[in-house]
Amino acid sequence: MREKRLEKILNYLKEKGFVTINELKESLNVSEATVRRDLNFLKQHGLIEKYRGGASLKGYPRELSFFVRLDEFKNEKKRIAEKTVTLLENHQIIALGGGSTIYYTVCALDDSSLHDLTIITNSITTAWAVIQLKKSFKLIHTGGTVREGSFECIGGHVLSFLEKMNFDVFITGADGIHPIVGVTFTDIEEAFVARKTLERSKRVIVVADHRKIGKIAPIKMCDMNEVSYLITDDLSNEISLSLKKRGVNVILA
């Protein structure tokens, strides 16, 4: 029951930005003392900021649409993308998540030496990027229910599809990357899809700009020792060493 409450609290905060203790008490149908204990728990784990009478989600405003994020830190994302495609080889089966950095990774394929890849994705924007390439790669889309904002497909159909697949490489973005906590997402269903894809993959590459490093989003997708490579544009020596101790190959773009 507590896990369900914590998930609901985080979802309220994602939607509203700030929520009062009274609002949570009425929405969750629990006592004020229970709400305060839950908020203290989330604060201790670095997920929220507490204020007099309420709380806000720490470092995470309401989720921006894909098209807004596409213009944010564009140059950094393009450099990350260029580094990412150098890790791929012809004849591989590649699983791609969604998001703006993945979009630019697909775009970088046109200027690479790669010419024979099978690309599988649950993302409409990633699939569209593949279709727009000058080169021709085999593209398979999972189908599923489209999530507004991210344009990623989620649900049982996607999970069943992925269960039957085997991937050479999985390339995914993230909402938070923390050496101890791991790779985290803001949406639970997108995290489920990413987790299933990871389980079916030989190697995992996480791509994210510096804003995501050290952050913790609400839903954990995996531990850092399950990640083969992290490609980012900047991070501190302390975090870099901590990641390397967990077996992550860190590449700066």
Kindly list the structural domains of the chain, giving each domain's residue range(s) and its CATH number in brackets, ordered by start.
2-57 (1.10.10.10), 66-252 (3.40.50.1360)
Burial class of residue 27, CB neighbours in 10 A (0-12, 13-18, 19+): middle
SS3 content of the chain, % helix, strand, coil (to 5): 40, 25, 30
The pTM assigned to this predicted structure is 0.77
Q: According to the model, what pLDDT value does residue 215 have?
A: 86
Give the model confidence (pLDDT) of 161-207 as tens digits.
999 999 999 999 999 999 999 999 988 899 999 999 999 999 999 99
Greater confidence (76 vs 27) lies with 76
Give the model confidence (pLDDT) of 211-226 as tens digits.
899 888 888 999 999 9
